[in-house]
Structure 1
């Protein structure tokens, strides 16, 4: 077994996460810091505002969409499942979209798990079941302490809780992931693009130190000779630490460089004079770099810049914002919704419940629907062809139904089916020869309905 496998307890090398055991090893052997000198992990990356905003923008819809359990009708269509233990009922129906466990709301469980999937590449949740094997609870698991295991032909999950390792049945673990190399473990977006994240953190740190130094650039103390013993004792290193006499000039210069000492005064030798740095931050394109890194982070998570409150070189705000939001839901959020639905529908229900047609579904229509005028036009058109009943329209608008009569579907009285329109013997009422035609029961019923509507 490899070193990665022995550390992780599996044959899957979870090297995609910076805070997994393999991530710790990577940092020990020198992979922790990036080229910009900043160490990046899933935890530190979240402190960068574009990363936090991207995770928030994607997780919020997943946590906000109504989530319910449905059942397919034998005659077609679907019906919402009621809570209970009777036929056609489910004990988790009232809790999945409100309170999946006693400690957390449905929003908290979904947003936490989705955030894990966006940062670590893997979001895990344990399914709690009753004695009949039915799901009655859902709990998120820490992604850096949980992972799949495959050994001797068996497959399961392991997680660490309170320092103890636990083995979990794979049917009881929800695993949400996106990109993967082996299909078992997702790749961490932060681990894949840590250089881009590190540059964003570095520019933010650089700017903070610049303003901490009275918004002035640093400089050098130049001396033509060498520092004497007394000068060595009088000098202090950055932070107030006394300089060690055993250090060489080269090592002293190196210790004063880097991001940690940005904008500080650099000491060269004795008999010095101060020489100010001549490259101001604007010449180093500091602001441009920061703006570019926002776009880089947005590309990693596939989030439009306008949703990160970045208006750089964009004209999407205004008349196109509705289409942009619809595109964001379909392109970015939609695949995650599909990942959730596939995983929940496969693992949440027993085989008997699957045969009965139980399934879960996110209602994304609330966010995809347009403004009032657009919705009214859509409802009017779909109602005119008998597609929606009045109660169906009221349901989509979260309004109360008007009673059983609201379930009727209506069509215009002056319209006929395509079959009748192509029948050479068909003559509509009022046309020559119509009086000699036998009355059609369906037409008479349609005419009577139209007369009642007119009254």
Structure 2
């Protein structure tokens, strides 16, 4: 056992479980307390889960992803289209996906299973393609030297073991550091209760929203007669007869049961479960179409801004750093890094942006910290060049150059 293993008190080799939902269901690991088995496939059938994953995936996929190059002396960075990875990340990761589609799939895998795997097709020491791998087909193994290997099972059942250098593995929140936590498994109680309440609601509608009742008689009924009566009642209150009059004879009585408090709170439970699932995926309820109170334009703008900062940015930073660590890992890549351009998502209202840019250009006598071309770039306009690329002189509120008092105008008692 190595010194690191002894210090950490861990085994020299640990194998991750398969992410195949069938394996987990077989051992009952995903059966919720509501009695409903929960897998990522079943979770996607829940509209709130699908909406949460979709709003994250589309938010991450819609902004440009570029390889950037640092300028000398720390003067900033510029896009690096000459880098081989630039086209792979920005436009064409493989033969059948766009960059948008790849990142959308990536978030679906990450947010549901905690892991996303891509095979790195390397040609002449450069990544030419990124091939997505179904997380349910991958078993992760940590070796005694703390390296990671991946066993991939294809549709025919054959397996292939890939080294860490050939797999881009993006992890979600992790406990053991080498595999992400299964988000659906962690949230299975909230998802399971949602599925159970949906099933109950569906059964009520299938029955025409009719509550149950009691069909009674003082006569003694043998088992065979009981089955006949049961089938007769089902025919009377089900199918096309569910809203027609219920015909009773032979001294039988029908007493319909009233709606209970549990039935009355059913819809409230369903609303609460929307919020529970949103908490699990860290998505604000208004982003999936659920709002408990009326919103103004100002509050809606702040909610959208909070969605970018608190929901999307953790995923964006996680992906950026994973690219830097696993794809831009060569000595020749030292000056390059991956960057999502989220400026368009962080823009405020026109009035707020106008005030911000005015101050950035030196309005009110404050020193300018942006040029006109930099402002135009923030608004996706082309640069003018020349004077527009030079920091302007400060101006006062009226737009005139700010005046600096001369020494002869300073009172003598305060002059240096």
Residue aligning to 2:241: none
1:143 aligns with 2:135: yes
Q: Which runs of 5+ in 2 are unaligned?
A: 1-12, 235-249, 395-400, 411-416
Partner of 1:396: 378
Alignment partners' CA distance in 2, 1:112 and 1:126: 14
Once residues 21 and 101 of structure 2 are traced to their aligned partners in structure 1, the CA distance between those partners, rounded to angstroms, is 22
> Does residue 340 in structure 1 map to residue 319 in structure 2?
yes
Cα distance between partner residues in 1 of 2:229 and 2:332: 77
How much has 1:370 moved relative to structure 2?
0.7
What's the secondary structure of 2:89's corresponding residue? coil
Q: Counterparts of 2:194 and 2:390 in 1: how far apart (Å)? A: 59
> Deviation digits for residues 292-348 of structure 1, max 9, x if unmatched?
111111111111111121122x34443211122211211111111111011001111
1:411-430 counterparts in 2 under 5 A? 411-412=393-394, 414=402, 428=406
**Alpha-carbon deviations, 1:395-445, whole Å to 9, x = none?**
1111122134432222236477xxxxxxxxxx948759xxxxxxxxxxxxx
Asked if structure 2 preserves the Cα contact closer than 8 Å seen for 1:120 and 1:143, the reply is yes
Q: Larger C-alpha radius of gyration, 1 or 2?
A: 1
2:16/2:140 contact within 8 Å kept: no
Show CA shifts across 1:115-153 (max 9, x none): 11111121222222211x112222221111124212343
Give how far 1:381 is off. Answer: 1.0
- CA RMSD in angstroms comes to 2.8
Q: Contact (CA 8 Å) 1:18, 1:191: kept in 2 or not? A: no
The residue aligned with 1:211 is: 205
Match of 1:381 in 2: 359
Pairing partner for 2:336 from 350, 358, 379: 358
Among candidates 151, 158, 178, match of residue 151 of structure 2: 158
The change in CA–CA distance for 1:233 and 1:335 in structure 2 (over 3 A counts) is closer
- The secondary structure found in structure 1 opposite 2:87 is coil
- Residue aligning to 2:104: 111
Match of 1:99 in 2: 92
Q: 1:109 to 1:49 in 2, by over 3 A?
A: same
Question: Residue 274 of structure 1: CA displacement?
Answer: 3.4
SS of the residue corresponding to residue 108 of structure 1 reads: helix
Contact 1:45–1:190 (Cα < 8 Å) also in 2: yes
How far off its partner does 1:234 sit? 3.6
Q: Structure 1 residues 215, 389: closer, same or farther in 2, change over 3 A?
A: same
**What's the counterpart of residue 183 of structure 1?**
177
Look up the match of 1:48: 46
Q: Residues of 2 paired with 1:226 and 1:151: CA distance?
A: 72
CA distance in 2, matches of 1:56, 1:415: 54
Post-superposition offset of 1:157 = 1.8
1:49 is displaced (CA, Å) by 0.8
Tell me if structure 1 keeps the 8 A contact 2:65–2:339: yes
Distance in 2 separating the partners of 1:407 and 1:344: 32
Q: CA deviation at 1:359?
A: 0.7
The 8 Å contact of residues 180 and 187 in structure 1, kept in 2 or not, is answered as yes
Query: 2:121 touches 2:129 (CA, 8 Å); kept in 1?
Result: yes
Structure 1 residue 26 displacement after superposition: 1.8
The alignment status of 1:129 with 2:122, answered yes or no, reads yes
Q: What's 1:447 paired with?
A: none
Is the Cα–Cα contact under 8 Å of residues 99 and 106 in structure 1 kept in the other structure? yes
Q: d(CA) in 1 for partners of 2:37 and 2:370?
A: 57
Change in CA separation of 1:275 and 1:336 when aligned onto 2, cut-off 3 Å: same
Cα distance change of structure 1 residues 391 and 191 upon mapping to structure 2, 3 Å threshold: same
Which whole-Å CA distance do the structure 1 matches of 2:266 and 2:166 have between them? 49
Cα separation, partners in 2 of 1:171 and 1:236, compared to 1, 3 Å: farther
Candidates 262, 268, 273, aligned match of 1:293: 273
Question: Once structures 1 and 2 are overlaid, which stretch shifts more, 273-282 or 333-342?
Answer: 273-282
Q: How much has 1:174 moved relative to structure 2?
A: 2.5
Count of residue pairs brought into register by the alignment = 370
**What do residues 196-228 of structure 1 show as CA deviations (whole Å, max 9, x unaligned)?**
111111111211221121221122434556642
Is the CA contact (8 Å cut-off) linking 1:157 and 1:167 kept in structure 2? yes
- Correspondent of 1:367 among 327, 331, 345: 345
Q: Determine if contact 1:66/1:363 at 8 Å carries over to the other structure.
A: yes
Match of 1:408 in 2: 390
**Conservation of the 8 A alpha-carbon contact between 1:18 and 1:42:** no
Query: Hey, what does 1:4 align to over in structure 2?
Result: none
- Corresponding residue number in structure 1 for 2:60: 62
For 2:9, the equivalent position in structure 1 comes to none
Gap change, CA 1:223 and 1:183, over 3 Å in 2:
farther
Post-superposition offset of 1:175? 2.4
Q: Residue 14 in 1 paired to residue 12 in 2? A: no
Once residues 38 and 217 of structure 2 are traced to their aligned partners in structure 1, the CA distance between those partners, rounded to angstroms, is 38
